[in-house]
Every structure is written in C-alpha cells, then in structure tokens.
C-alpha cells in the first residue's frame, strides 16, 4: 500500500513539473507578459543579454537573408534605431532559419543595430515561427507589441509603440 501511494505521489510530482515547464515554454513573447530573456553573441563576438538592458526599450526583429518582406521591415527597424537609439532604444536583429551571410546582408542593407546570427534558440524562446516578426519590450521587460508581416498598419503600430515607450520616462 505504501509503495502504491509513493508511486502516485511521484507521478503527481512529475506531472506537475511537466505542466509547469510546458506552460512556461508555451508563453513565448505574449503582449502584457514578461519577455523571455536571452543571451547571444553578435557578429563582432560581443555577448548580449536582453535583461541586462532593463530600463531601456528593446526592439527585437526576427529576420532572414532570403526573406523578401524583411527588406521593408528591416528598413523601418533601422529607421527606428537611428531615430531613438540615443533615447534608450536597444535594437536586436535576430537572424535565424537561414544559411545566408547575415554580416554581408546587414552591411549591404545599412543595418547599424546589433545582429545576432544563427539565433534559432531566441526564436524558439519567443515562439516565432514566421518572419518578419517584431517584438517591442518596454523598460520593465514587458512585451508591448508583437507583430508579424509587412502590412502598413503593422509598421505604423511598430513606430507608434516604440515612440510611446520611449516617451514614457520613469
């Protein structure tokens, strides 16, 4: 009888652990929730951690060199980086699902924001399956916006969200 009870308690503990870890993974980067943290090395070999920049607004842009729609979104992201970079916007280009050369592409496109190459694990943590996708994280680490695609309304919401987040000072 004690053996059966022990097994039931052990099974319950395992199920609770699985449910908890599945819930955490399923969250990804949802608006109104804490952004998943990441640590990744950029093209220059510098390590970046999202949570190290709490207090700044963060724009996380998921892209690939083969993605034609990413050209339009990348230009908008670069524009935001140039406009708000000195006002507390940290911009990360998360390159993934690609065998292309992100350094050459970024140089040709004129990207001056941080490029995180071959960053599949970041896309997985954010639960990104389609590109281009943009995520805006506020100064407290909460996801303010998550959008995919190149619709003009998406780009307008991106610009408005970043401008609003930058304007909010603590």
How far, in Å, CA of 19 to CA of 158, rounded?
34
Instruction: Provide, rounded to the nearest whole percent, the portion of the chain with pLDDT above 90.
Output: 79
Task: Please return the burial class of 144, using the count of CB atoms within 10 Å of its CB with bins 0-12, 13-18 and 19+.
Answer: buried
Helix (H, G, I), strand (E, B) or coil at 25: helix
pTM for this entry: 0.82
CB atoms within 10 A of CB 45: 6
Write the pLDDT tens digit of every residue in 92-128.
999 998 889 999 999 999 999 999 999 999 999 999 9
Q: Tokens standing for 156?
A: 């307008």
CB 25 within 8 A of CB 128: no
pLDDT at 76 over 60: yes
Burial 78-88 (b: 16+ CB within 10 A, else e): bebbeebeeee
Write the pLDDT tens digit of every residue in 43-74.
999 999 999 999 999 999 999 999 999 999 99
CB 69 within 8 A of CB 149: yes
The fourth-level CATH superfamily of domain 31-167 is Glutaredoxin (3.40.30.10)
DSSP letter for 130, please.
S
DSSP letter for 53, please.
G
Q: Tokens standing for 85?
A: 């970079």
Burial 91-121 (b: 16+ CB within 10 A, else e): bbbbbbbbeeebeebbeebebebbbbbebee
Give the residue extent of every domain in the chain: 1-27, 31-167
């Amino acid at each position: 009888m004690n053996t059966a009870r022990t097994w039931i308690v052990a099974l319950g503990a395992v199920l609770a652990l699985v449910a908890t870890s599945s819930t955490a993974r399923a969250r990804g980067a949802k608006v109104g929730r804490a952004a998943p943290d990441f640590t990744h090395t950029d093209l220059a070999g510098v390590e970046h951690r999202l949570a190290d920049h709490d207090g700044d607004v963060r724009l996380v842009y998921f892209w690939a060199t083969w993605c034609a729609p990413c050209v339009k979104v990348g230009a908008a992201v670069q524009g935001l980086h140039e406009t708000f970079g000195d006002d507390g916007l940290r911009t990360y280009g998360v390159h993934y699902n690609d065998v292309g050369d992100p350094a050459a592409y970024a140089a040709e496109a004129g990207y001056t924001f941080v490029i995180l190459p071959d960053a599949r694990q970041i896309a997985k943590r954010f639960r990104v399956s389609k590109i281009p996708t943009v995520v805006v994280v506020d100064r407290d680490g909460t996801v303010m916006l998550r959008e995919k695609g190149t619709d003009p309304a998406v780009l307008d919401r991106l610009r408005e969200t970043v401008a609003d987040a930058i304007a909010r000072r603590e």
